[in-house]
Structures are given as structure tokens and as C-alpha cells.
């Protein structure tokens, strides 16, 4: 998890649409965050926590390559964030 984005590797059965799963995850997590960290108990209409879009890529049998990419990407994001910290 990064400050401005999240990498998630999940397996979705073929009977579910990717958009359905992503929408469900974004909706449930937004409600959880609002309840846990913002003190909201109900009435979440009109509030937006996640961006409208998302990126999805399919993986064949080489799941470990994607896992390693995510690990490296998180390290690279942290490194870049540290470099820009001193530019401000």
C-alpha cells in the first residue's frame, strides 16, 4: 500500500466480471475506512474515496513474476518519494 495508490494481486473466478469485483472492493473498503478512521456510521452518499478508474492486467501461470514486480515497484516508489522530499 502506497500513500497515493494500492497494488493488489488477486485471483478472480471466471464467473465474475473484473469490474464487479473492483467495484465491490472499492465500495466495501471506502465504507470501512469512513467508519474506522472518519467516525462515520451511515449516510455515505455523495462521498468519494477512491478514484473512478483502475488498472487491471491479467496473469497467466507466472504469478510469481507479478508478485516480484509489485515488491520492486513499492521499493521504487518509496525511493522516488524520498528523493522528491528534499526538492520541496
Q: Which residues are catalytic?
A: 69
The conformational region for residue 43 under phi > 0 = left, psi -120 to 50 = alpha, else beta, is left
Residue 62 CA, chain-centre distance (Å), reads 21
Q: Are 40 and 34 in contact (CB under 8 A)?
A: yes
Q: What is the chain's alpha carbon radius of gyration, rounded to the nearest angstrom?
A: 16
Using CA atoms, how far apart are residues 47 and 50, in angstroms rounded to an integer? 10
Amino acid at each position: 500500500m502506497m500513500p497515493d495508490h494500492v497494488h493488489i494481486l488477486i485471483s478472480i473466478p471466471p464467473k465474475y466480471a473484473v469490474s464487479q469485483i473492483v467495484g465491490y472492493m472499492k465500495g466495501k473498503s471506502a465504507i470501512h475506512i469512513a467508519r474506522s478512521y472518519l467516525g462515520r456510521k451511515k449516510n455515505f452518499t455523495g462521498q468519494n474515496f477512491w478514484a473512478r478508474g483502475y488498472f487491471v492486467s491479467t496473469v497467466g501461470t507466472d504469478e510469481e513474476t507479478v508478485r516480484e514486480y509489485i515488491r520492486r515497484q513499492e521499493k521504487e516508489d518509496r525511493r522516488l518519494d524520498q528523493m522528491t522530499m528534499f526538492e520541496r
